[in-house]
Chains A and B, each alone.
Chain A
Amino acid sequence: MPTTIPTTTSSTRPGSPSAGDAYFETDTKNYIIYDGANWRGYVSDGVAGVSNSFSGSFDGSNDYVDCGSISSMSGVSAQTLSVWFKPAVAGEIPNIGWWSSSTTSYGWSSSGSIQTFNAKNGVNESFDVASSVPNDTEWHNYVAVFDGGSVAIYIDGSSVLTGTASNTTLATSPATFRIGQFGTVSLYEAGLYDEISLWDAALDSSDVLALYNNGTPIDLSSAAGGYDKQADLTHWWRIGDHASDTGSGGSPANGDTISNVENAANSGTNDGTGTNGPTFSTSVPS
């Protein structure tokens, strides 16, 4: 029999606790103890991360992984994109997504001081996050949620921007989706990219906080903590950690050129092909 402790929630804590009473809060995942006057909280460091040995290193000049056109996001009203990114230059965001024209695109684009999320469908508008981008070269998790025209942007599990787009659906006929480059536009961003994922659903703040998991990526194919959108996961490029990912030396190895990175959520659909020499790296978010 396991040793157990009682559970509660942050909104239903006992009204007349005794000093020393302890609970596990199922909503915050914190351990709390009453000291006789106040509840003291002990913050969980998260759940166990997914096995993760590799990321992709992109030079910011011409490297990219081409994943083809993603038909599952054509004309949809809900879509979420998550990417872990470690910039080579402090304060930069990833370049990733697809682009058809100045008014039709999807994804993150970084061009100098203009750092935006785009979900354009006929109107040239975007969501500028430059003021919220961490000014360092550490790993960060960027999540963009499009939900019927509402846009919510999260960095490291925290909401940094909400807005409303003119369009309530994404554009039809998406162009080729690229990692390391914003579609076919000449916008590249140097750094490490990992665990890129798409859902045909709008993740909520609980999902996003669970994705961040205090800096350690989780297994997106299973529910954990506040994350329960595993059934809506359509794409998950693990960049060296899926069984069939390959590099110039066969199985992925540090420094090898990326050949193929499969879509772990649906192998055979939108598998990615390394172009112009991105390499595997053993630096991963943790």
Chain B
Amino acid sequence: MFVLPTFSLGVVGSPIVPPFNVTIRDTEANILASTPSLSAGEAGIAFGTDTNDFYVYDGSAWYIFNNDS
């Protein structure tokens, strides 16, 4: 029989999921000046610390997704 893991207080625990972490966090100028090394079929992402915008690099250009909040 499968038993859910519990803590000492008897609360059902949630599985631990590692956070999705954006490793490139820099100013927009530095992000736009960089050219991440990518494998085929993937795009790189970054977060602008001065703009709070989100950036995706497709191998040729950075695409900007503006912070709307």
Question: Could you say which of A23-31, A122-130, A145-153 contacts chain B?
Answer: A23-31
Give B38-59 interface residues, CB cut-off 8 Å to A: 38-39, 41-46, 53, 56-58
**Is the CB–CB distance between A2 and B62 below 8 Å?**
no
A24 to B57, CA, bound (A): 9
Partner of B61, one of A2, A3, A4, A224: A224
- Chain A contact residues (Cβ within 8 angstroms of B): what range? 20 to 34
Residue of chain A at shortest CB distance from B28: A48
Q: A44-B63, A46-B64, A47-B64 are in contact. Are A3 and B56 (CB under 8 A)?
A: no
A4 to B63, CA, bound (A): 14
A42 to B21, CA, bound (A): 19
Partner of B65, one of A4, A7, A44: A44
Instruction: Report which residue of B20, B62, B65 has the largest number of chain A beta carbons within 10 angstroms of its beta carbon.
Output: B65
Q: A24-B56, A44-B56, A48-B32 are in contact. Are A5 and B62 (CB under 8 A)?
A: no
Partner of A4, one of B32, B38, B66: B38
A1 at the interface (CB under 8 A from B): yes
**Is the CB–CB distance between B64 and A7 below 8 Å?**
no
Partner of B58, one of A2, A7, A45, A46: A7
A6 to B38, CA, bound (A): 10
- Tell me the smallest distance from the CB of B40 to a CB of chain A, in Å: 9
Residue of chain B at shortest CB distance from A42: B65
**Is the CB–CB distance between B42 and A47 below 8 Å?**
no
**Is the CB–CB distance between A24 and B58 below 8 Å?**
yes
A267 to B28, CA, bound (A): 30
- Tell me the smallest distance from the CB of A48 to a CB of chain B, in Å: 5
A223 to B61, CA, bound (A): 8
Q: A24-B56, A31-B56, A44-B56 are in contact. Are A4 and B42 (CB under 8 A)?
A: yes
A134 at the interface (CB under 8 A from B): no
Partner of B24, one of A3, A45, A46: A3
- 8 A-B pairs besides A5-B42, A5-B43, A47-B64 with CB distance below 8 A are A4-B44, A24-B56, A24-B58, A29-B56, A44-B64, A45-B66, A46-B63, A225-B60
Question: What residues make up the interface of A, taking CB atoms closer than 8 Å to B?
Answer: 1-7, 24, 26, 29, 31, 42, 44-48, 223-225
9 A-B pairs, CB-CB below 8 angstroms? A2-B36, A2-B38, A2-B45, A3-B44, A4-B45, A26-B43, A44-B64, A223-B60, A225-B63
